[in-house]
Amino acid sequence: NEHREETVELTIGSAIFLTLLATFLFAFWYQALKHLGEYPLAGFVMWLYISSFITILAACRVLGAHDMPEGIFQEIQGKELAAFGVCLGGAAMTYGLIVSLIHMKEYGMIANQAISGTAGAILGVILTFVVGGLSPDVSLAMVLAAAAVLIGASVILQYSGMIKTGDRKKQGENESQQNMESLKKQNKMLIFSNILMMGYSIAYMLGTRSELHPKGFPALLCVLLLAIGSLFAALSYAAVSLTRHHQWRQALIPPNRIPIYMALGAGICHYGGNLMQIYALPLLSAPVSNLLLKTSSLWTYLWGVVYGEYKGAVLKSKIFLAAGIGAYAVGILLLTYALYC
């Protein structure tokens, strides 16, 4: 069939590996936020998506003849509205990500995942089953079991972060009250962010050609359309923010150019990861792919540990952290079994 021909080089095992590698890359490039210093976030986002777009253009140059032998315009012909919809999905994802990055820069990676990890996982599971559909070859019972385990893992890690923070806050009740107000603000920010990023999920699930969606685009073209939407969103955000705060000079020719280089590298990781994940999608089906993507929360927590966000945490918090990591491993094994059984 059509989608098998496009992914003929991939096996289920390699598709799982690519998706998990994509989750690592997503969590990896977030680390750049810790090293921006005074460099404007809008400048970082601008260079990030310029790099992302160039990365996918380079991929089209290398893989286009194989994936789109008739050419980009021939693939889009008659499906212009669908192509525009995919672009909108890319733009929505970027606006949602900008909100998430603002939060992450202010409150840290673990605080970000503690709120968005669980909500995003539940929304993602519902969305992927309703919109993406599950291949008849995949065990529904095992996927549902894996979904429950992975959502449970997210909740366990969230609790680990809460008791770690809560114990620290015994040092001052005023600080605790302030943090409760902060938590309400964070919840609103990240729920809004997750809703926007659902646009990306809908776009790639409906936009990628597969057995369940035969009228979709080749994976490479779908990612290119997403990247176009993302670039537009990033440039529009940068134009408004950098102009408003008079930061164009700081963004374009800063005294220290390392943040620009980090943004360019982050773009390769970001959309390179998107490309890997969407290439693997037809073999895995949307619900399985989405659940594997949720393991990016695990990497975020591990990076948080590396950067000392669990320094001084009580033993109980660390035990729940270990339990959450173990639950993620079990969830991945259940998904792998669902694909092979």
Q: Which residues pair with 165 in a beta bridge?
A: none
pLDDT one-digit tens code per residue, 111-167: 556 555 566 666 666 776 766 667 777 778 888 888 888 888 888 887 887 777 554
Using CB atoms within 10 Å of the CB of residue 208, give its burial: 0 to 12 exposed, 13 to 18 middle, 19+ buried.
Answer: buried
The pLDDT, as a whole number, for residue 6 is 45
Q: Does the pLDDT value for residue 215 go beyond 80?
A: yes
**Mean pLDDT for the chain?**
83
pTM reported for the whole predicted model: 0.81
Region 200-228 average pLDDT: 89
Q: Does the pLDDT value for residue 5 go beyond 70?
A: no
pLDDT one-digit tens code per residue, 178-193: 555 666 666 677 778 8
On whether the CB atoms of residues 262 and 32 are closer than 8 A, the answer is yes
Q: d(Cα 259, Cα 32) in Å, to the nearest integer?
A: 8
Q: Does the pLDDT value for residue 169 go beyond 80?
A: no
Average the pLDDT over each of 50-54, 78-82, 115-119, 239-243 and give the range with the smallest value. 115-119
Q: Which residues pair with 217 in a beta bridge?
A: 208
Q: Tokens 């980090």 appear where?
A: 262
Q: Does the pLDDT value for residue 109 go beyond 70?
A: no
46 or 215: which leads in pLDDT: 46
Q: d(Cα 25, Cα 182) in Å, to the nearest integer?
A: 29
Q: Quickly list H helices, the chain.
A: 2-6, 12-29, 41-67, 72-76, 80-107, 109-127, 140-168, 173-207, 219-244, 248-252, 258-284, 286-293, 296-306, 315-340
pLDDT one-digit tens code per residue, 117-127: 566 666 666 77
Burial 86-112 (b: 16+ CB within 10 A, else e): bbbbbbbbbbbbbbbbbbbbebbbbbb
Q: d(Cα 30, Cα 201) in Å, to the nearest integer?
A: 20
